[in-house]
Chains A and B, each alone.
Chain A
């Protein structure tokens, strides 16, 4: 189906829509009333069919808006359905989660931050608000005074994030629950998986997220367009090139800016180097999760030179801070190119060795093949992206579908596997590493001369989306501007947000030993939010961040005193 046919399909539901706008060929904005939202969404997802990306909740002045973003990958189109809820007192809309499980989390999130009720949602527990957050306070509503919010007043919220544990005794048999998290040797970050087990078999699985929610979207509303790339690059250390790039592309689209050719190539090189080191990192971690620490150490050793290259190009191993609206901040000096090419040869050789070792190991085959299968149907239903989707035979890749930076000029392949198991995902990632090396090589050889940035004056009012293929999948940013120098809404969707919930399809019925590697197979990255508090059983805060810091400092001073070490002064540092 090409773009024209897609437009025809969309006009079939014209009578339910208020407006269809098409500012660019592959950006379509539909508007409808809240009452029609369910039917239109069902049509878009099931009839057309489109891939669900994310929803954005917005507090406009006179109403609430819920934006459903869809993608049509054959033409690289982003189709956004805008619905308005006029009742500000009791905002409510029909939930789309019953037919679209991939929307379950985002509806819970919008409920948390804006207080919009989703009717017929299967599970309305908290997702991102902490358990000590007061009920009825919605942080992203414009009229909420966040200074006045006092979390942890001892009241237990009516919607806790945890599934309540079944009552003890009473003669009924309760399936044992195995806790993976909030801190567990499996995970580098804080998240909590509750596995209900029957012997070695997992019968149910539940997750609690946001132990570390930093409120990036809220912070972003208080920063200028120019400062936001630095903020979003800190969402995640590993995707620190792709988040700013998605944001910057969205803003550039809004302002109608075309960055210089050389900047596009520099962006390509940095994002691909990032993909190489990210995939090597995953291979190492995957090895660790199944107890193969030798692979862990070797993969991370081979990843080091990539980080060194990035440091040489951008000045940082992570958080490169190199893209800005209108181009790049730093150029790649031409004299560095031969060195990078030489290093790439080395990296390729070592990755080849590692790939061979991993793919030829019979025990690894036994351990990963047929494990944690995510079928193609489930991959579509949960709207997964990136290697998780490509491992299940869904050939989507933003770099090819909606080309950005310099990808359209370069020769490379989209790697797919049809099995959908953990092994297939490993193969996809390993082979993609070679494609990335190929891309960087070509980009370096073709690197055009010229400046790397154009001057940007003003960001006009309007709304726009940008998406980029991050190592874990599609990173999606939505930006709305009112013509000022700050966005009025900035929505971020990291790929793990849609990839992680697919564990419901891939883990249940598996062995515990397989669940851990299956959870890890989507390469989860919990780009969440920052809040630190010690909470007792009644959700009462007993120490806040400042007290903890003070206690920690006091203890250090105490230990120093006991050791007789001299007092550390600022001058010494």
Chain B
């Protein structure tokens, strides 16, 4: 009984829902504030992301007449569940790495793709031409970066000697080698696309498809999507920190610094680039990133079999 209660506490309070949401909203404030400073603006007050979500929760939910109601309403919840589980799992491993099994890198990859799939489902259920266009773009984008992301993790798995457990992977710092660094950079761009940040905000592209995938969402349902995005902003950089940068194994401040570093890198990429076209994005991930990663995998295999750590 206590075990069950404790599990619920983990999922819903700490390090699950409440903790991740609060941290995520703070992170989204950082994104907005830093973007504003880069653009010579003042930026929003600290609590603005909280206000936004609160306000949306109180707004009327409008659902298009022709929408597939159940899927349309269920999709944000599915997305939320996916990112919640991912975040809880990652933090559990960070806090208590000695626990036998919480999940390995394969589980994490599957959980990471859930919010995108939910978004595709939800927007395609909305019967809006703008959303349909957004859906097709999101699908292409997922197909584009998913391969690169998996290849990047394969580099890490090779570097760690075939380990799949996240706890074990988080003990090492693959980014200190050439192949690991290449994989990290590509994974960073994949995360950029997963977060829907410029230059890969193609599915939402305000000035083209008027927020595309999210177009028909309003009120509480939109608030849930905003929460999913905020939580992704916690989970995805944390995942990168754990897989590539050695996680929170050292001092706590070092771990936080690594997380902030990844976040700032994402923000800077977001603010120094225009949006690319979907065909350009797919080409980028398949050909350029693909070639880089194949090279990285080869380097990692060579490095591993000859014991050269820096390759």
Give chain A's interface residues, CB within 8 Å of chain B: 176-179, 184-186, 197, 199-200, 287-298, 301, 361, 363-364, 366-367, 511-516
Q: Which residue of A lies closest to B202 (CB)?
A: A513
Contact yes or no, A290 B275, CB < 8 A? yes
Choice from A199, A294, A515 contacting B38 with Cβ under 8 Å:
A294
The verdict on A291 contacting B136 (CB below 8 Å), with A297-B41, A363-B273 known, is no
Extra 6 A-B pairs, beta carbons < 8 Å, given A186-B207, A291-B199, A291-B206: A184-B210, A290-B275, A293-B35, A366-B276, A367-B277, A513-B208
A385 to chain B: closest CB distance in Å?
25
How many residues on chain B are close to A (CB under 8 Å)? 32
Select one of A298, A512, A513 contacting B40, CB under 8 A.
A298
Cβ B40 vs Cβ A291 within 8 A = no
B114 located at the interface, meaning its Cβ lies under 8 Å from any Cβ of chain A in the complex: no
Chain B residues, CB < 8 A from A184: 210
| Nearest CB on A from B163, distance (A) | 37
A69→B81 CA distance, assembly (Å):
66
Cβ contacts under 8 Å, B129 to chain A: 176-179, 197
Asked if A185 meets B38 with Cβ closer than 8 Å, knowing A294-B272, A363-B199, A366-B280, the reply is no
Q: Report A-chain residues with C-beta under 8 Å of the C-beta of B262.
A: none
Report yes or no: B202 in contact with A185, Cβ–Cβ below 8 A.
no
A186-B208 in contact (CB<8A): yes
Given A294-B39, A366-B276, A511-B277: A178 touches B205 (CB 8 Å cut-off): no
Bound form: Cα–Cα A6–B266 in Å: 62
**CB-CB contacts below 8 Å: B119-144 with A:** 129-130, 132-133, 136-137
9 closest A-B pairs by beta carbon, nearest first, are A291-B275, A297-B39, A292-B274, A290-B274, A186-B207, A513-B277, A176-B129, A185-B206, A289-B207
**B216 contacts A by Cβ under 8 Å:** no
For B206, the chain A residues whose CB sits under 8 A away are 185, 291
- The reply to whether the CB of B278 lies closer than 8 angstroms to some CB of chain A is yes
CB distance from A422 to the nearest CB of B (A): 12
**Residues of chain B contacted by A361 (CB below 8 angstroms):** 274
Closest approach, in angstroms, between the C-beta of B192 and any C-beta of chain A? 13
**B278 touching A513 by the CB < 8 A rule?**
yes
Is the pair A199, B136 in contact by a Cβ cutoff of 8 Å?
yes
A-B contact count (CB 8 A): 88
Q: Can you name 28 A-B residue pairings with CB atoms under 8 Å?
A: A176-B132, A178-B209, A179-B129, A185-B206, A185-B211, A186-B207, A186-B208, A197-B133, A200-B279, A288-B207, A291-B201, A291-B205, A291-B275, A292-B274, A293-B198, A293-B271, A294-B38, A296-B39, A301-B40, A363-B273, A364-B274, A366-B276, A367-B276, A367-B280, A511-B278, A512-B133, A512-B208, A513-B205
- Shortest Cβ distance from B152 into chain A, in angstroms? 22
A184 to B271: give the CA distance in the assembly, Å. Answer: 23
Q: Is the CB of B133 within 8 A of A287?
A: no
Tell which of B40, B133, B277 touches A514, judged by Cβ atoms closer than 8 Å.
B277
Q: Is the CB of B274 within 8 A of A185?
A: no
Give A288 to B274 CA distance when docked, in angstroms. 8
A297 touches B210 (CB 8 A): no
Q: Which of A185, A197, A291, A514 has the most CB of B within 10 A?
A: A291
Residues from chain A with a CB closer than 8 A to the CB of B35 are: 293
Give chain A nearest CB distance to B111 CB in angstroms: 28
A178–B137 Cα gap in the complex (Å)? Answer: 15
* Complex CA–CA separation, A513 to B205 (angstroms): 9
Is there contact, CB below 8 Å, between B207 and A516?
yes
Contact between A185 and B276, CB atoms less than 8 A apart: no
The residue from A296, A363, A511 contacting B279, defined by CB atoms under 8 A apart = A511
User: In whole Å, how far is A520's beta carbon from the nearest beta carbon of chain B?
Assistant: 8
- Chain B residues, Cβ within 8 Å of A177: 129
- Distance, CA A516 to CA B277, complexed state (A): 12
Bound complex: CA A176 to CA B130 (Å): 10
Q: Smallest CB-CB separation from A511: which chain B residue?
A: B277
B38, chain A: closest CB distance, angstroms: 6
Cα–Cα distance between A363 and B271 once the two chains are bound (Å): 13
Contact present for B271 and A294 (CB under 8 Å): yes
| A199, B274: Cα distance in complex, Å | 22
User: What residues on A are CB-neighbors of B210 within 8 Å?
Assistant: 184-186
Q: Which of B181-235 contact A (CB under 8 A)?
A: 198-199, 201-202, 205-211
| Residues of B contacting A186 in the complex (Cβ-Cβ under 8 angstroms) | 207-208, 210
How far in angstroms is the closest Cβ of chain A from B137? Answer: 8
A297 to B36, CA, bound (A): 9
Which of A179, A287, A295, A513 has its CB near the most chain B CB atoms (within 10 A)?
A: A513
Please give me the residue from chain B that is nearest to A302 by CB atom. Answer: B40
Across the interface, which residues of A come within 8 angstroms of B208, CB to CB? 186, 512-513, 515-516
- Minimal beta-carbon separation of A552 from chain B (angstroms): 21
Contact between B209 and A512, CB atoms less than 8 A apart: yes
Q: Is the CB of A363 within 8 A of B274?
A: yes
- B39–A291 contact, CB under 8 A? no
A contact residues around B39 at 8 Å (CB): 293-294, 296-298
- B64 → A minimal CB distance (Å): 14
**Chain B residue contacts of A363, Cβ below 8 A:** 199, 273-274, 276
Tell me how far the C-beta of B40 lies from the nearest C-beta in chain A, rounded to whole angstroms: 5
Question: CB-nearest residue of chain B relative to A187?
Answer: B207
Q: Specify which of B211, B274, B278, B280 is in contact with A291 (CB 8 Å cutoff).
A: B274
> For the complex, what is the distance from the CA of A364 to the CA of B198, rounded to whole Å?
13
Q: How far is the CA of A361 from the CA of B277 in the complex (A)?
A: 16
Q: How far is the CA of A254 from the CA of B67 in the complex (A)?
A: 63
Q: Which of B132, B133, B273, B277 contacts A292 (CB 8 A)?
A: B273
A185-B275 Cα distance, complex, nearest whole Å: 15
**Residue of chain B at shortest CB distance from A184:** B210
Contact A292 B275 (CB under 8 A): yes
Instruction: Assess the B130–A513 pair: CB atoms within 8 A.
Output: no
Residues of B within 8 A of A178 (CB): 129-130, 133, 209
Closest Cβ neighbor of A364 among chain B residues: B274
- Nearest B residue to A290 via CB reads B274
A54 to B266, CA, bound (A): 51
Q: How far is the CA of A298 from the CA of B130 in the complex (A)?
A: 30
Q: How far is the CB of B26 from chain A (nearest CB, A)?
A: 22
Question: Which partner residue on chain B sits nearest A362 by CB separation?
Answer: B273
B123-176 contacts to A, CB under 8 A, are: 129-130, 132-133, 136-137
Q: Which residues of B contact A511 (CB under 8 A)?
A: 277-279
The CA-CA distance from A184 to B202 in the complex, in Å, is 17
How many whole Å from B205's CB to the nearest CB in chain A? 7
Given A178-B133, A185-B206, A367–B40 Cβ distance below 8 Å? no
- Chain A hits for B136, CB < 8 A: 199-200
Q: Hey, which chain B residues are within 8 Å of A179, CB to CB? A: 129-130
| Minimum distance in angstroms from A273 CB to a CB of chain B | 22
Residues of A contacting B209 in the complex (Cβ-Cβ under 8 angstroms)? 178, 512
Residue on A nearest B284 in the bound complex, by CB: A366
- Measured CA separation A512–B130 after assembly (Å): 11
A287 and B274 contact, CB distance less than 8 A: yes
Q: Which residue of B lies closest to A512 (CB)?
A: B208
Interface-central residue, B38, B41, B133, B201, by most chain A CB under 10 Å: B133
Query: Closest chain A residue to B39 by CB distance?
Result: A297
Instruction: Name the residue on B nearest A285 (C-beta).
Output: B207
In the complex, what distance in Å separates the CA atom of A219 from the CA atom of B220?
Answer: 49
Determine how close the nearest CB of chain A comes to the CB of B263; give it in whole angstroms.
Answer: 18
Query: In the bound complex, what is the Cα–Cα distance between A362 and B211 (angstroms)?
Result: 26
Beyond A185-B206, A291-B199, A516-B208, whether A200 also contacts B278 by CB under 8 A is yes
CA distance A484 to B132 in the complex (A): 60
Chain B positions within 8 Å of A298 at CB level: 39-40
Of all chain B residues, which has the CB nearest A183?
B210
Point out which of B41, B130, B205 has the most chain A C-beta atoms below 10 A from its C-beta. Answer: B205
The residue among B199, B211, B274 with the most chain A CB atoms within 10 A of its own CB is: B274
A514, B280: Cα distance in complex, Å: 12
Cα A179 to Cα B137 with chains together (Å): 17
CA distance A364 to B277 in the complex (A): 11
Determine the distance from Cα of A295 to Cα of B272 in the docked complex, in whole angstroms.
8
**Contacts known (A367-B277, A511-B277, A513-B202); A291 close to B207, Cβ less than 8 A:** yes
